[in-house]
Structure 1
């Protein structure tokens, strides 16, 4: 007997056998991790294709096995059972035909033609019984002979033997009784013919009972085959699902391993790029692969090293050239080569009393004082986005303007920087003696700041051997002159008219005078930066109001009114330099009045 149970381990071994090649395939594709990205991707695709092929082949094999079982059930088991059922029917048909034959003979006038027709029906039914049972036996023997499918061959062999026995016994008894019946009918022995018919009915019933029993056994085999088919189908579904799941897991793990080998360096490269973007060049990327990304990571590390080197150069040059200029020249080198005309705001800042202060210092002490002074004064300029152009002795030159800031910001930022610088003076005056290790400075120090706005030429100026990126123009000269004019008026921060117009009401300004500096023929108003917007004290507000009255009267040659207003200004803020300057001029005009048609402007004849 072919065992159905024996086939299950074979199927399981087939699954394990299909899993082993997958693990072997995974190991054989491990070298792909060190290959190029193209080969990695191709390796993943090939691995997934192989897994898909293995799964498909296994499903096809199992489906073909189920197909063979279904074919056997459809074309052998069920037809065999149908043949046996039809054999029963043919037996009944033959019995009916036999009775009709007897009835045709028992008539007073026998109908020979009808008798012959019934005899033909009887013989046809008899032949069909032989044919149906023979077909049933052929199907059963085909099942037994087929080694591809599991079946209960012993039970099928018994069914075949029972069919043969039933047919042979039926044939032997029926032939004898049938011959006897025909003789009795011909001899008109009706009582004896009836007895023979009864024996024929008994033989028929015995045959039908045997066939019914055989059909029952055959039906059991049909059910068993159906159960086998259903079981194999379920088994195929489960095994296919398991293999598909295993293939998916193996493929997913394999793809994750390979993809992580690709994405991890990319993430490291991205993190390194963000570090570089943030200006941190001290974290090189670990090169963990030998593919294109590994080469890119190595190139990235070389680039970071070069950037680190460039940053060191930039930091070094930033001590000599403003970092904004360095970066601007790197980003747009054509600006330095070609030069451009732009509207900028220029500042000059100078330390008052520097000459007398430096006379009593050693060179080393003077260097310490100047370095500290420049450090303190440079902070507000840098924090307000200004560019320090150069240090000239004790003076600082700076500028604001495109392309470093927007065109509407330079004047205000320069004014804010000047205020911040002036606020540093008290602390600077306290720090310098401690810095030199003395009780008091030999001379007081203060600031003088001049600011002007106008069109200047920006670019690299110098010789073929040495150049400097700077600004040149009338605004530069005017800012320098205004810085010196602070000595005349006793002020700290003076700005030109264009600068005051650009600032507007964003800072607290006071018009000081209409002045023509050395080198200018047309006078222009100059203004003092007093404080940030809204930060004036009551005394400063009173000073500005009285000074404005005095200035207007002074320009109109109403010197008595001007003197009164300026004295009121001095009462508000004693020692106000511009007020004392105008009072000195009024005293001079009383002995030497100005010419008729005087425009109220003052012209400086020396720097």
Structure 2
């Protein structure tokens, strides 16, 4: 079968199926399907012809069948609506029944492979006639304008669809680009916040999820600013190391712990006398300059500021964070403070600021190491990070005892054992502090081993021999050696003078026979 269509000015011509005149099979069904998308297919049924097999027995009837089929084809070729030609009317009387396209296709499937005419009768004409079909046609209408409109509408629909697709694609690209850029800006600002820049302001805009996110991020930055502000305020009153640890685990600091630490105490000698002669502005300036310089040194060597008590500085080494060689670092800090104070005194003299007593200001430092309780001490509402214990009290007493021996840095035996490889020390005395039974060896920390003169070493050696004679009750020999050590040193030595006077006292009032060389202090 062969079905196709040709456009005319008014009507569409339809070529009806089967085979051409040379009996060549043509795929008409596909064409008919395409045509059927546009028009109604009508099957025309003829009147009953009876037994068609008998009808085709004779040549006359066979010729008539051929003529009838030829007329059917011509009628369909003409594309004349639903009205058969007069010739066809003579050959076939018919009735017209409309069927759906699906039903028509089913019939066409059965006709598609049949030849035009064969002797056996299994041909198209016999199939059509035996099925009481007088023909198959499409409904032909005058539709030139309709087709043009449909085609225009079709083209317009396609163009519109393409335009919508392109516009949607462009819009999607623009929107995605806008969103990506906004997300990139958010990421950029978030990185800045992560690096500590809290002046970042996330751009707000829109009521979408990104707008909500920027609002939340700005709130977060505001909260971080407040937290940093509080942290900075606390940092001016509490050591920043303590603040940092409290931010991580405040509960642990409140619980407290027992740790081996090095306690640091320093005090300005005769500060009451100095403060009385200064105005309040001068006093504040002097204290701020002094405390700032000393605290920087404390922090430099990983010490933690416990508190200021007037001109006194209390420091902790190895708490709340671990510090390697904390005892040595505390000693380094103490020596550097003495050196820095000497530089400050020279500057004050050169600038002629403050009073003479301030320009000659001296400090005393006491160091002790051992187990102590550390943590936040106080009430639930007000507390401070500090240290407590006998070893802390001893450090404070060492600082105070420095006045009696005229030394700048006084350390305990436990500290001397830790620092003796790096620092030069001398044994000053063995005492029993007030309220304690245990004796304590007192050592002066003179300076770094590589920074001690031969003269000073010789003086210390003579002093040590004198102290050994003192322990052996050889009072006169001890006095001679203490005097000799001062001559070698070239300056008065308050420790040597103190022990010389004690030897004189023991000459008059010798100690008990079981005396162990320990001197009991009657004051702190």
Q: Which residue of 2 aligns with 1:411?
A: 327
C-alpha distance in 2, partners of 1:547/1:276? 62
Offset, 1:436? 8.5
TM-score when scaled to structure 1?
Answer: 0.54
The root-mean-square deviation of aligned C-alpha atoms, in Å, is 3.2
- Whether the 8 Å CA contact 1:369–1:436 is kept in 2: the answer is no
SS at match of 1:424: helix
Q: Which residue of 1 aligns with 2:233?
A: 316
C-alpha distance in 2, partners of 1:584/1:21? 114
- Whether the 8 Å CA contact 1:369–1:435 is kept in 2: the answer is no
C-alpha change, 1:412 and 1:568, in structure 2 (3 Å) is same
C-alpha distance in 1, partners of 2:236/2:428? 37
For residue 330 of structure 1, the aligned residue among 234, 240, 247 is 247
Alignment length (residue pairs): 367
Q: Which residue of 2 aligns with 1:386?
A: 303
For residue 426 of structure 1, the aligned residue among 335, 342, 348 is 342
- Whether the 8 Å CA contact 2:278–2:355 is kept in 1: the answer is no
For residue 416 of structure 2, the aligned residue among 477, 484, 500 is 500
Q: Which residue of 2 aligns with 1:602?
A: 519
Offset, 1:372? 2.3
- Whether the 8 Å CA contact 2:265–2:313 is kept in 1: the answer is yes
Q: Which residue of 2 aligns with 1:584?
A: 501
- Whether the 8 Å CA contact 1:347–1:479 is kept in 2: the answer is yes
C-alpha change, 1:293 and 1:357, in structure 2 (3 Å) is same
SS at match of 2:377: strand
Q: After the TM superposition, which residues 453-602 of structure 1 pair with which residues of structure 2 at under 5 Å, given as runs? A: 453-573=369-489, 574-602=491-519
Structure 1 position 351 matched with structure 2 position 268:
yes
C-alpha distance in 1, partners of 2:346/2:247? 41
C-alpha change, 1:510 and 1:270, in structure 2 (3 Å) is farther
- Whether the 8 Å CA contact 1:390–1:396 is kept in 2: the answer is yes
- Whether the 8 Å CA contact 1:360–1:442 is kept in 2: the answer is no
C-alpha change, 1:260 and 1:318, in structure 2 (3 Å) is same
Q: Which residue of 1 aligns with 2:368?
A: 452
Offset, 1:357? 1.5
SS at match of 1:335: helix
| 1:539-597 deviation line (CA, Å, top 9, x unaligned) | 23223322222222221222344334333322332223322222222222222222212
C-alpha distance in 1, partners of 2:352/2:435? 40
C-alpha change, 1:590 and 1:337, in structure 2 (3 Å) is same
Offset, 1:497? 1.8
| 1:167-216 deviation line (CA, Å, top 9, x unaligned) | xxxxxxxxxxxxxxxxxxxxxxxxxxxxxxxxxxxxxxxxxxxxxxxxxx
C-alpha change, 1:295 and 1:310, in structure 2 (3 Å) is same
**Higher percent of residues as helix:** 1
Offset, 1:323? 1.0
- Whether the 8 Å CA contact 1:356–1:443 is kept in 2: the answer is no
- Whether the 8 Å CA contact 1:433–1:441 is kept in 2: the answer is no
| 1:255-281 deviation line (CA, Å, top 9, x unaligned) | xxxx87676566655554554444332
Which structure 1 residue ranges, 5 or more long, are not aligned?
1-17, 36-258
Q: Which residue of 2 aligns with 1:341?
A: 258
- Whether the 8 Å CA contact 2:282–2:354 is kept in 1: the answer is no
- Whether the 8 Å CA contact 2:304–2:315 is kept in 1: the answer is yes
Offset, 1:415? 0.9
C-alpha distance in 2, partners of 1:422/1:455? 27
- Whether the 8 Å CA contact 2:327–2:369 is kept in 1: the answer is yes
C-alpha distance in 2, partners of 1:434/1:26? 83
- Whether the 8 Å CA contact 2:346–2:359 is kept in 1: the answer is no
C-alpha distance in 1, partners of 2:492/2:520? 24
| 1:322-367 deviation line (CA, Å, top 9, x unaligned) | 1111111111111233121111111111000112222222333323
C-alpha change, 1:391 and 1:554, in structure 2 (3 Å) is same
C-alpha distance in 1, partners of 2:477/2:162? 108
C-alpha change, 1:26 and 1:470, in structure 2 (3 Å) is farther
C-alpha distance in 1, partners of 2:189/2:448? 44
C-alpha change, 1:344 and 1:439, in structure 2 (3 Å) is closer
Q: Which residue of 1 aligns with 2:169?
A: 29
C-alpha distance in 1, partners of 2:191/2:453? 49
